[in-house]
């Protein structure tokens, strides 16, 4: 089903259902080259979400700040290429949501285990805010928090399930958002975790 959450925010429920297994295999291949790691925030906290990247640019954070860069800081080598199944899915989802010319150059792979969460934030490190972000949920379900344009705005809670894809563009692009603490569970394809892929035009 296709559901409008707000201006520019489109929820494609079960859009990736048929591809969940191949997507998880591709995550395993990418993260064999660029392992999941828990990064440091500029303020010195260790993120509870473990991350990796593929594509031309990868999102990183450390004591120096948040940014995109071409090389994995662990290996000092370029991030693995974006698998074809990732690119095809991201472009198809953007098209289904009405964004015609989307071509991602960055894919951030987030891994949540029970207890992990992502506090309310805005995605502001990308070069072109007219380009949407495509997010793909895999594995355990999570409660997503969709806030307003100000941190203090009370977020709407949305349960994202494996195979759900959400496209965030237009007036929704700079909304505050986060993920509530992941509950315990076991998923047949991912075990005790949730993955989220976010596709962006970062450069």
From 79, 111, 155, 175, residue interacting with ligand MD3 (rule: CB under 6 A): 175
Residue whose C-alpha is closest to residue 27's, from 119, 146, 118, 109: 109
Among 20, 93, 109, 177, binds ligand MD3 (CB under 6 A): 177
Partner from ligand MD3, Fe ion, none binding residue 99, C-beta < 5-8 Å depending on class: none
Residue in 92, 84, 102 with CA at minimum distance from that of residue 169: 102
Contact 201/103 with Cβ under 8 angstroms? yes
Rule CB under 6 A: say whether 31 interacts with ligand MD3.
no
The single residue among 82, 179, 193, 202 that binds ligand MD3, judged by CB under 6 A, is 179
**CB–CB of 194/159 below 8 Å?**
no
Confirm or reject binding of residue 52 to ligand MD3 (CB under 6 A).
no
Question: Contact between 198 and ligand MD3 (CB under 6 A)?
Answer: yes
Are residues 13 and 136 in contact, defined by beta-carbon separation less than 8 angstroms? no
The answer to whether 138 and 23 are in contact (CB under 8 A) is yes
131 is a site residue for ligand MD3 (CB under 6 A): no
Q: Which partner in ligand MD3, Fe ion, none is near 126 (CB below 5 to 8 A by kind)?
A: none
Stretches 74-82, 92-100, 169-177, 182-190: which one binds ligand MD3 (CB under 6 A)? 169-177
* Count of residues near ligand MD3 by CB under 6 A: 15
Q: Cα(169)–Cα(163) distance, rounded to whole angstroms?
A: 20
Q: Around 78, how many Cα atoms within 13 Å sit in the side-chain half-sphere? A: 8
Binding site for ligand MD3 (CB under 6 A): 108, 110, 118, 123, 133, 135, 166, 168, 172-173, 175, 177, 179, 196, 198
């Amino acid at each position: 089903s296709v559901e409008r959450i707000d201006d520019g925010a489109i929820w494609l429920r079960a859009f990736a259902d048929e591809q969940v297994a191949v997507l998880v295999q591709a995550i395993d291949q990418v993260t064999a080259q660029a392992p999941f790691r828990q990064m440091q925030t500029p303020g010195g906290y260790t993120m509870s979400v473990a991350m990796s990247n593929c594509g031309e640019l990868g999102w990183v954070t450390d004591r120096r700040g948040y940014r995109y860069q071409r090389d994995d800081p662990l290996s000092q080598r370029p991030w693995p290429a974006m698998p074809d199944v990732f690119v095809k899915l991201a472009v198809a989802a953007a098209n289904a949501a009405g964004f015609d010319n989307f071509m991602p150059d960055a894919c951030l792979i987030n891994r949540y285990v029970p207890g992990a969460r992502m506090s309310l934030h805005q995605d502001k490190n990308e070069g072109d805010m007219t380009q949407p972000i495509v997010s793909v949920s895999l594995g355990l379900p999570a409660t997503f928090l969709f806030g307003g344009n100000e941190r203090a705005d009370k977020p709407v809670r949305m349960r994202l399930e494996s195979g759900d894809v959400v496209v965030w563009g237009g007036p929704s692009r700079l909304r505050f958002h986060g993920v509530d603490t992941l509950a315990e569970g076991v998923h047949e394809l991912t075990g005790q975790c949730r993955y989220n892929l976010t596709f962006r035009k970062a450069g």
